[in-house]
């Protein structure tokens, strides 16, 4: 058994595509008899159910009213009821036959397209006979119920007009035509009353057809094409998601391998740094040899920091990692920074001051610590002698600041310093240039956390980098 296209399409995708192709090439003459697309079919199904409910209601109420009024003989009344039940069963069987057929079957077969017209002819004949049977010289309750019931039958038939224009038109014309013919035959009903009723009914049916119904015909004609296009888009999205998941899996495997290899590499770099430091300490009084070894130790340390920055940047770009949020005491991060940079600051003759803070955040501790490490490392690079790290309260946010009195940043470079691999044209005190990764990592982590980072600088006097943390993640800022 073939898989159905969707919950609203009980046929396979191939059957829907075949029907849509046939409808695209068929003449308007066929569409006036019956629409084939699933949009037309769904509309016809709903209106058919409403019509059947109205049918049951009018037959039941008219039978009960006439049973007590006895304007029609009991024999004819029971014959009429039997015919009504038989027609109800016949229409139900025809309904199942039509809506059980695939769209392409209906599009190819005039037999299927003529079935709605056959249903209309039998229904119109039945109601024509009923009109002359129950609407007599005196308008009794059963006659009034009959006219009201015709209105109830007409509403779903008007709604069915886009699906079966000619059959529904024939049904309405026959239904009301017999009513007006019968009313004209009754001497108790003035001619002008019949005319007013005819105008009222015609206006109501016209408004029901041309105002709300005909506006949707173009959409119903294209309903299968639209559904198929949506299905194609969904298929494309699923393919893209599968490709994306495959790519993400590949990237994760590569980064896992790269991270493991880099961990071993950094351990060896750390061992090299210890060896060079030990060697430089043991060479007392021999500056000619000790100075290059110290330079080598600094290079190893920079290489280790560069590897960490590159790994962080690659992980963010490739995996778009989400922050692992937990409660973080900012003072603990400040304390860790103080211990981490104490040795480097002493070697460079830089005084680092970290102000005590009582700020508590809901954030990713590792990401925020990496941001502060890179900002502090950046402050130590360019001839700074004093660095201040602090947090302060501001309207709607907490601002974490890293101040330095270094060389500062020219205005023309401020917009570019957060770009990956942007290198400052100036050199550090030891003659090296930055590699342009640290501040790019800062921007990526800050964006992931939903914060902002800004910079203000006075060339020759220093800079201040600010991380703006919104109040929504601040638990305490006393």
Residue 221 has pLDDT above 80, yes or no: no
- For residue 88, the model assigns a pLDDT of 87
Average pLDDT over residues 96-106: 71
- For residue 432, the model assigns a pLDDT of 45
Same domain? 370 vs 303: no
Show which of 303, 321, 339 is a domain's final residue. Answer: 321
Give the pLDDT band (50/70/90) at residue 229. Answer: low
Which domain CATH number covers 401?
3.30.565.10
The most confident of the ranges 148-152, 160-164, 200-204, 274-278 is 148-152
Give tens-digit pLDDT for 343-385: 878 878 889 999 999 999 999 998 899 899 989 988 887 777 8
Show which of 203, 221, 239 is a domain's final residue. Answer: 221
Same domain? 106 vs 21: yes
Average pLDDT over residues 196-204: 77
In a domain, 135, yes or no: yes
- Name which residue leads in pLDDT, 424 or 393: 393
In a domain, 80, yes or no: yes
Same domain? 341 vs 467: yes
In a domain, 389, yes or no: yes
Domain count, the chain: 3
Residue 1 has pLDDT above 50, yes or no: no
- For residue 429, the model assigns a pLDDT of 46
Same domain? 306 vs 400: no
Same domain? 289 vs 384: no
In a domain, 457, yes or no: yes
In a domain, 269, yes or no: yes
Same domain? 81 vs 171: yes
Show which of 275, 296, 321 is a domain's final residue. Answer: 321
Contact call for residues 127 and 55 (beta carbons, < 8 A): no
Give the pLDDT band (50/70/90) at residue 427. Answer: very low
Residue environment code for 245-257, b if the CB has 16+ CB neighbours within 10 A, otherwise e: eeeeeebeeebee
Q: 279: domain range? A: 249-321
Average pLDDT over residues 144-159: 79
Average pLDDT over residues 208-214: 57
Give the pLDDT band (50/70/90) at residue 153. Answer: confident
Question: Who contacts 79 (Cβ-Cβ below 8 Å, separation ≥6)?
Answer: none
Residue 431 has pLDDT above 60, yes or no: no
Same domain? 266 vs 368: no
Give tens-digit pLDDT for 42-63: 777 777 788 888 888 888 888 8
- For residue 329, the model assigns a pLDDT of 93
In a domain, 68, yes or no: yes
Residue 237 has pLDDT above 80, yes or no: no
> Three-state secondary structure along the chain?
CCCEEECCEEEEHHHHHHHHHHHHHCCHHHHHHCCCCHHHHHHHHHHHHHHHHHHHHHHHHHHHHHHHHCCCCHHHHHHHHHHHHHHHHHHHHHHHHHHCCCHHHHHHCHHHHHHHHHHHHHHHHHHHHHHHHHCCCCCCHHHHHHHHHHHHHHHHHHHCCCCCHHHHHHHHHHHHHHHHHHHHHCCCCCHHHHHHHHHHHHHHHHHHHHHHHHHHHHHHHCHHHHHHHHHHHHHHHHHHHHHHHHHHHHHHHHHHHHHHHHHHHHHHHHHHHHHHHHHHHHCCCCHHHHHHHHHHHHHHHHHHHHHHHHHHHHHHHHHCCCCCCEEEEHHHHHHHHHHHHHHHHHHHCCEEEECCCCEEEEECHHHHHHHHHHHHHHHHHCCCCEEEEEEEEECCEEEEEEEECCCCCCHHHHCCCCCCCCCCCCCCCCCCCCCCCHHHHHHHHHHHHCCEEEEEEECCCEEEEEEEEEHHHEEEEC
Percent of the chain with pLDDT over 90: 15
- Name which residue leads in pLDDT, 460 or 190: 460
Same domain? 254 vs 158: no
In a domain, 242, yes or no: no
Same domain? 342 vs 444: yes
Average pLDDT over residues 51-80: 83
Same domain? 44 vs 55: yes
Q: What is the mean pLDDT of the chain?
A: 76
- Name which residue leads in pLDDT, 25 or 294: 294
Same domain? 174 vs 273: no
Least trusted range by pLDDT, from 10-14, 47-51, 173-177: 10-14
- For residue 357, the model assigns a pLDDT of 92
Same domain? 303 vs 327: no
Residue 424 has pLDDT above 70, yes or no: no
In a domain, 454, yes or no: yes
Residue 25 has pLDDT above 70, yes or no: no
Residue 190 has pLDDT above 70, yes or no: yes
């Amino acid at each position: 058994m073939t898989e159905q296209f969707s919950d609203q399409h009980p046929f396979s995708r191939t059957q829907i595509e075949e029907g849509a192709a046939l409808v695209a090439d068929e003449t308007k003459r066929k569409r006036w008899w019956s629409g084939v697309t699933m949009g037309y079919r769904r509309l016809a199904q709903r209106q058919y159910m409403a019509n059947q409910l109205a049918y049951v209601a009018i037959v039941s109420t008219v039978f009960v009213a006439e049973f007590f009024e006895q304007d029609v003989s009991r024999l004819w009344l029971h014959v009429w009821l039997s015919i009504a039940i038989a027609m109800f069963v016949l229409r139900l069987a025809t309904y199942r036959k039509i809506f059980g057929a695939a769209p392409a079957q209906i599009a190819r077969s005039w037999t299927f397209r003529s079935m709605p017209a056959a249903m209309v002819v039998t229904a119109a004949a039945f109601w024509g006979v009923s009109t002359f049977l129950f609407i007599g010289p005196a308008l009794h309750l059963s006659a009034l119920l009959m006219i009201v019931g015709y209105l109830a039958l007409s509403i779903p038939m008007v709604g069915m007009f886009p699906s079966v224009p000619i059959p529904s038109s024939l049904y309405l014309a026959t239904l009301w035509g017999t009513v007006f013919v019968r009313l004209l035959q009754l001497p108790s009903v003035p001619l002008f009353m019949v005319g007013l009723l005819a105008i009222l009914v015609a206006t109501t049916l016209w408004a029901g057809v041309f105002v709300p119904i005909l506006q949707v015909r173009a959409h119903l004609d294209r309903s299968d094409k639209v559904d198929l296009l949506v299905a194609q888009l969904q298929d494309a999205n699923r393919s893209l998601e599968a490709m994306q998941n495959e790519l993400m899996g590949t990237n994760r495997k590569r980064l896992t391998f790269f991270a493991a290899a880099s961990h071993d590499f950094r351990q060896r770099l750390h061992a090299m740094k210890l060896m060079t430091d030990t060697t430089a300490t043991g060479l007392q009084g021999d500056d000619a040899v000790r100075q290059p070894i110290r330079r080598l130790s600094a290079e190893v340390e920079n290489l280790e920091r560069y590897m960490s920055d590159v790994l962080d940047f690659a992980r963010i770009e490739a995996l778009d990692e989400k922050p692992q949020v937990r409660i973080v005491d900012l003072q603990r991060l400040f304390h860790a920074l103080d211990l981490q940079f104490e040795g480097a600051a002493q070697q460079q003759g830089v005084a680092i001051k970290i102000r005590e803070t009582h700020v508590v955040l809901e954030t990713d501790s590792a990401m925020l610590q990496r941001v502060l490490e890179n900002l502090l490392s950046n402050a130590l690079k360019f001839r700074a002698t004093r660095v201040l790290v602090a947090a302060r309260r501001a309207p709607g946010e907490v601002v974490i600041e890293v101040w330095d009195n270094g060389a500062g940043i020219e205005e023309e470079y401020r917009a570019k310093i957060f770009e990956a691999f942007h290198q400052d044209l100036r050199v550090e005190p030891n003659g090296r240039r930055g590699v342009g990764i640290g501040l790019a990592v800062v921007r990526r982590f800050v964006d992931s956390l939903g914060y902002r980072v800004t910079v203000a600088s006075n060339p020759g006097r220093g800079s201040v980098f600010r991380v703006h943390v919104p109040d929504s993640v601040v638990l305490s800022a006393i």
